[in-house]
Amino acid sequence: MQTSTGLDRRIVRTRDAIREALIDLMEEKGFEAISIKDITDRANINRGTFYLHYHDKFDLLDQTETEIIEDMKQILIREDSLGLEEYMISDRPHPIIIALFEYIQARSRMMHAILGLKANPNFQGRLKKAIESNLYFIGFAHHKSENDLLVPGEYLISYVAAAHMGVVQAWLNNGCRETPREMAQILSRLSFQGPFKAIR
Amino acid sequence: MQTSTGLDRRIVRTRDAIREALIDLMEEKGFEAISIKDITDRANINRGTFYLHYHDKFDLLDQTETEIIEDMKQILIREDSLGLEEYMISDRPHPIIIALFEYIQARSRMMHAILGLKANPNFQGRLKKAIESNLYFIGFAHHKSENDLLVPGEYLISYVAAAHMGVVQAWLNNGCRETPREMAQILSRLSFQGPFKAIR
DNA sequence: TTTATATACGACACTGTGTTGATTATTTAT
DNA sequence: ATAAATAATCAACACAGTGTCGTATATAAA
């Protein structure tokens, strides 16, 4: 029956190999150009074996993405957040943002493949949604009525969510040269003080 | 006799039909799921005819994207721009931004298809690059040395470019309810005053 | 009209897909 | 160590989509 770890080791090995192959190939030729045979050749498994684990390549990508999103949600919960005003006044970056950058750095190859120009835009949309709902959660434009806002809350949220994702993408493209703390610092300053204020 | 366009009318009709079909299908099932037969069925042309105009569906998308990018560059040139400081002080949106929103609205179906979640991420990257190089051009983080900046100029640019694209996407998802001027106003406030300042 | 050429049509070889049944290899549990 | 369970392999299948022909037809431009 099942072992204490839950999964047959053959399954773990195969899925790991498939995932690694997917990352490689996404960086090389982009998701759309990948065939199942590409994946199974690279992973050194039989083509039919792929279908024992995933319905098609979209299913594979989807499961991979879901795991990442879930990981990130865990980070948001673990670091018991908030204290937004403190961090707004001080020039210190928020620990949650640091933790997220650390997570991204630890899986930078995967994140670059999945967020980059050759990726499937699906994940970008899912991640942006996750960021947006978190911004709502911490009350970013929530407890204020629309009248108190200089712009519609909806666009405020979209602006910040997209901006943060853009900075993450730029960081990944640069090979993650800055530390997670430095990146969190950069994001904090840009959002708290405003991009144009960041010039002088 | 009317050769002002230089193109046989059959060619124009066919390419228009192909392009319309592409937009329809991208909204329906996403670029990746589209087959040539899907396009030619929808466009009511023979499948072979497609290959008289485009090498494959990527070529079709690429040409379409290029035209849009070129159009936008023309707008950036036409409106002889700048006067950045004026608009920074006053609460008036910049005419270039208004013109760009007007262009997007006039082709909202196409833009939504090409910028949306089911699109190919390629265009998003190209447009972001165009925005970035324009930000460099207007001296957004250019004539200042890195020491004068609160954050690396590179990330400042990425932040603003991605943020603006995110707002455009949100606007398209909402069906372009706000006017181009209103949207330009929103973007100006968010970038000049900073997203967090936009709360109170 | 005449001429040029864009499009339609059917056929071709080719690649990739998703599935199946039988066989082999490996892991887990006893 | 051994038996039972099951994951992986392999070959084969029908099917869909691709890109490219040659030839015939339709339509635009002169």
pLDDT at site A82: 61
pLDDT at B3: 42
User: Given pLDDT bands bounded at 50, 70 and 90, which one contains residue B200?
Assistant: low
What residue in A sits closest to B91 (Cα-Cα)? A150
Q: Does B192 touch chain A (CB under 8 A)?
A: yes
- Kindly give the interhelix angle for B121-137 and B57-78, rounded to the nearest 10 degrees: 20
Q: Please name which of A30, A45, A158, A183 lies closest in space to residue A103, comparing C-alpha atoms.
A: A183
Q: What is the CA radius of gyration of chain A?
A: 20
Indicate if the pLDDT at residue B193 is higher than 60: yes
The DSSP code for A61 is H
Stated in angstroms, how far is B49 CA from C7 C1'?
A: 7
Cβ of residue A14 lies below 7 Å from strand D: yes
Amino acid at position A22, single letter: L
CA A187 – CA A183 distance, rounded (Å):
6
- B6: confidence class by pLDDT, cuts 50, 70, 90: low
Q: Any chain A CB within 8 A of the CB of B144? A: yes
pLDDT, residue B1, reads 37
Residue with tokens 């039989």: A46
Q: Is B195 on the interface with A (CB under 8 A)?
A: yes
Residue B187 has pLDDT above 50, yes or no: yes
pLDDT at B88 over 90: no
DSSP A54: -
Separation CA B186–CA A21 (nearest Å): 43
| Segment B15-67, tens digit of pLDDT | 999 999 999 999 999 999 999 999 999 999 999 999 999 999 999 999 999 99
From B118, B141, B195, residue closest to A156, measured CB to CB: B195
Residue B116 has pLDDT above 50, yes or no: yes
pLDDT in tens, chain A (200 residues): 434 456 899 999 999 999 999 999 999 999 999 999 999 999 999 999 999 999 999 999 999 999 999 999 999 888 665 677 778 788 889 999 999 999 999 999 999 999 988 888 889 999 999 988 888 777 665 556 677 788 999 999 999 999 999 999 999 999 999 999 999 999 999 999 999 877 75
CB B170 within 8 A of CB A177: no
Query: pLDDT at position B132, please?
Result: 87
Helix residue ranges per DSSP H, chain B: 9-29, 36-43, 47-53, 57-78, 84-89, 95-106, 108-115, 121-137, 153-173, 180-193
Q: Which residue has the tokens 């589209």?
A: B34
- Is there a contact between B62 and B20 (Cβ–Cβ < 8 Å)? no
Q: How big is the CA angle at B28 (ends A159 and B47), to the nearest 5 degrees?
A: 130
According to CATH, the topology of domain B1-54 is Arc Repressor Mutant, subunit A (1.10.10)
- Average pLDDT of chain B is 89
Burial of B25 (0-12, 13-18, 19+ CB in 10 A): buried
Q: Which nucleotides of D are covered by protein (CB under 7 A)?
A: 5-12, 16-22, 27-30
Say what the pLDDT of residue A2 is. Answer: 39
The Cα–Cα gap between B110 and B106 comes to: 9
- Nearest CA to B19 among B107, B116, B147? B107
Give the pLDDT band of residue B144 (cuts 50, 70, 90): low
Distance CA A65, CA B166 (A): 21
Q: Report the distance separating Cα A128 and Cα B158, nearest Å.
A: 16
pLDDT of residue B4: 44
Q: Which secondary-structure segment (H or E) carries B196? A: none
Residue A179: strand, helix, or coil: coil
Q: Do domains A1-54 and A57-193 have the same CATH topology?
A: no
Per-residue burial over A156-192, b if 16 or more Cβ lie within 10 Å, else e, is bbbbbbbbbbbbbbbbbeeebebebebbbbbbbbbbb
Surface of A (86-115) touching B: CB under 8 A: 88
Choose among B138, B187, B150: nearest CA to A190.
Answer: B150
Q: Identify whether the C-beta of residue B114 lies closer than 8 Å to the C-beta of residue B125.
A: no
pLDDT recorded at residue B143: 56
Which residues of A27-180 form beta strands (DSSP E)? none
Of B24, B4, B180, nearest in space to B105 by CA? B180
Instruction: Provide the CATH number for the domain formed by A57-193 in this structure.
Output: 1.10.357
Report the residue of chain A nearest B127, measured CA to CA. A117
The crossing angle, in degrees rounded to 10, of helices B121-137 and A121-137 is 70
Say how far apart CA A38 and CA B49 lie, in whole Å: 31
Separation between Cα atoms, residue A145 and residue A121, nearest integer Å: 32
Q: Where are the domains of chain B?
A: 1-54, 62-193
Confidence (pLDDT) at B142: 56
Q: For residue B108, what pLDDT band results from cuts at 50, 70 and 90? A: very high
- Model confidence at B146, pLDDT cuts 50, 70, 90, reads confident
